[in-house]
Chains A and B, each alone.
Chain A
Amino acid sequence: MSESNFTTRFLKVFGINNQGHKRRDPLNVWVPLISVGLALIVGMIVIAASGRNPFRAYALLFGDSGLIPGGAAWRREFAELLIKSAMYIATGLSVALAFKGGLFNIGAEGQFWVGAIVATFFGYWTPVAHTFGAMYVALGTFGWIAQLLHGAICIIMGMLAGGAWAAVAGYLYVKRGVNIVIGTIMLNWIAWFLITSWLVTGPMTPPSQTFTSGTFYVADTAKLLRIMMPTRLNTSILLVLLAAYATWFLLYKTTVGYEIRAIGYTANIGMEAPRAQGINISRRILQLMFFSGALAALGGSFFILGLQYQFPNTATMGYGWTGIGIALIGQSEPLGVVLAGLFIGALRTGATSMQVANIPKTFSNIIEGMAVGFIALQVAVRYSLVKILQRRRSRTDPPADQEATT
Chain B
Amino acid sequence: MTEYAKYLRLEKFPLIWCPGCGDGIVLKAILRAIDNIGLNKDEICMVSGIGCSSRTTGYVDVNTLHTTHGRALTFATGVKMARPDLNVIVVTGDGDGTAIGGNHFIHAARRNIDLTVVLYNNWIYGMTGGQVSPATPVGKKASTAVLGSFEPNFDIVALASGAGATFVARETVARPVVLEKLIEKAIRKKGFSLVEVMTPCPTTFGRRNKAGDAVEMVEFLKEHSVPLARAGTLTAEQRDEAIVTGVFVDVDRPEYTEQYARLVEKCGGRPAARAV
A complexed with B: no
Residue ranges of B at the interface with A (Cβ–Cβ < 8 Å):
none
Residue ranges of A at the interface with B (Cβ–Cβ < 8 Å):
none
